[in-house]
Amino acid sequence: MINFHSKKIIVLTGMMGSGKSTIGKNLALKLRREFIDSDIEVSKASALSTSEIFDKFGEEYFRSGEKKIIKKYISERNENLVLSTGGGAFLNKELRDLINNKSISIWLNASYNTLYKRLNKNTKNRPLFHGHELKIKLQELIEKRTKYYKLAHFEIDVNGLHITEIIDNIIKQLENNYNEIC
Ligand code: S3P
Pinpoint the alpha helices (H) of the chain.
20-31, 38-46, 50-57, 59-76, 93-102, 112-119, 134-149, 163-176, 178-181
Q: Ligand 1 atom closest to Cα of 37?
A: 15
- Statement: residue 78 has pLDDT above 70: no
What count of other Cβ atoms lies within 10 Å of the Cβ of residue 92?
Answer: 16
**Among 165, 168, 17, 157, residue whose Cα is nearest residue 87:** 17
Q: What is the pTM of this model?
A: 0.96
Task: Report the separation in Å between the CA atom of 172 and the middle of ligand 1, taken as the mean of its atom positions.
Answer: 27
**Among 152, 117, 149, 92, residue whose Cα is nearest residue 17:** 117
User: Class of 9-173 per CATH?
Assistant: alpha beta
- Sort 19 into a burial class: Cβ within 10 Å, 0-12 / 13-18 / 19+: buried
Q: Ligand 1 atom closest to Cα of 17?
A: 16
Task: Report the separation in Å between the CA atom of 65 and the middle of ligand 1, taken as the mean of its atom positions.
Answer: 13
- With a Cβ cut-off of 6 Å, ligand 1 is lined by 16, 20, 39, 50, 86-88, 126-128
Domain ranges of the chain: 9-173
Residue 6 banded pLDDT, cuts 50, 70, 90: confident
Mean pLDDT of the chain: 95
> CA 40 to CA 53: how far, in whole Å?
12
Residue 38 banded pLDDT, cuts 50, 70, 90: very high
Task: Report the separation in Å between the CA atom of 87 and the middle of ligand 1, taken as the mean of its atom positions.
Answer: 4
Task: Report the separation in Å between the CA atom of 20 and the middle of ligand 1, taken as the mean of its atom positions.
Answer: 10
In sequence order, what are the residues at sequence separation of 6 or more whose Cβ sits closer than 8 angstroms to the Cβ of residue 152?
13, 90, 100, 105, 106, 107
6 vs 128, higher pLDDT:
128
* 114 close to 16: Cβ distance less than 8 angstroms: no
* φ and ψ at residue 63, rounded to 5 degrees: -60, -35
121-147, pLDDT tens digit by residue?
999 999 999 999 999 999 999 999 999
- Statement: residue 76 has pLDDT above 90: no
